[in-house]
Structure 1
């Protein structure tokens, strides 16, 4: 009976996640190990479990391991970005082939090279993530960044109302009830979730990515 109950809980967890993350988990049952973004607020913390109320209204439980990385998210501004800065930006395409930022996050020097490249991202439909070094920054011409990465380059417009944040190495002391997070997890064959990394807002900041 206990085994059957656990199986039902795991199946319910999978169904809940599919409803939370939609298209990104359409084949979740067939693809264990899929990387999933979970965005929400911490509702409970223990040594190896994080409880999160997702932005969609669902509640999920996420396993923590010794390899789970934690980074603090703090407020920044366009002046913190200079040629040579290493940044990431979730963005959507524009008609002229450039990108319009939905958010920008600035890495500290010791994290330069993290996630280098340009790839699809799950913040909104059709969005991408670009991580790379800033080649130039034209503040007088609509706040346009040239971002260079190993295999290419993107030009990204950063509107004035787009959030800009710093990513800072942190530890689990930042993980408290009420803190807003974005966490990237993998799903096991049994439906359990394990956090690869956690971006946690510091001093009330909501991670925008």
Structure 2
């Protein structure tokens, strides 16, 4: 692998550790994931119209990183793919996917496991796909992580995305973002990274 490619892989892997720290552990109370649409970026101050309609201001670190999310297809998920699934528990024990993120190979194993997530009645499963079969109500994936396995029902309309390093120039008014932020003692929000949707994709 050329030196430049190795460097890009290392940078991506390092960035993903930060961007997806929220996948790795249940979020502490002082952490929030702001999802919404960019209203303004003034220097390092980002204003987002959150999904609940509130205007949220986030102070970005001087060295903040940007991750770009793009739309993927169910067909892009193969046996062996490493994915993150936001889901809701079903009465039969399965998890119904709310959204799925396909991880690049450089991020395999990141946040491996099953835990609560910060959407209503939701969970997060980071795991490798062991089996994929069609079912009457959508695709069914069996995924395995270090401590167990889950069966994931994927309805046809489930948003599926993948990500790569982004550019600060992509943080434009109207772009959809998901920002892991820390609430400071004075109530203000700070973040060192921004996930932005590319080509109209909405990150979750």
Query: Which category describes the TM-score, using the shorter chain as reference length?
Result: 0.7 to 0.9
C-alpha separation in 2, matches of 1:110 and 1:195 = 23
Residue 40 to residue 164, structure 1, CA distance change in 2 (3 Å): same
The alignment's TM-score, normalised by the length of structure 2, stands at 0.79
Q: Deviations over 1:41-96 (max 9, x none)?
A: 11111332111111111111101114543211111111100011111111001111
> Are 2:201 and 1:205 aligned?
yes
For 1:8, the equivalent position in structure 2 comes to none
> Are 2:164 and 1:168 aligned?
yes
The alignment's TM-score, normalised by the length of structure 1, stands at 0.78
C-alpha separation in 2, matches of 1:182 and 1:130 = 18
Residue 78 to residue 38, structure 1, CA distance change in 2 (3 Å): same
C-alpha separation in 2, matches of 1:86 and 1:68 = 26
Shift of residue 150, structure 1, vs aligned partner: 2.2
The number of equivalent residue pairs is: 176
Structure 1 vs Structure 2 CA RMSD: 1.8
Shift of residue 169, structure 1, vs aligned partner: 2.1
Structure 1 contact 186–196 (Cα < 8 Å) conserved: no
Of 81, 85, 97, which residue of structure 2 is paired with 1:85?
81
> Are 2:42 and 1:42 aligned?
no
Structure whose CA Rg is larger: 1
Q: Name whichever structure is richer in strand by fraction.
A: 2
> Structure 1 unaligned runs (5+)?
1-31
List, as ranges, runs of 4+ consecutive aligned residues in structure 1 with deviation greater than 6 Å.
Answer: none
SS at match of 1:173: helix
Residue 145 to residue 37, structure 1, CA distance change in 2 (3 Å): same
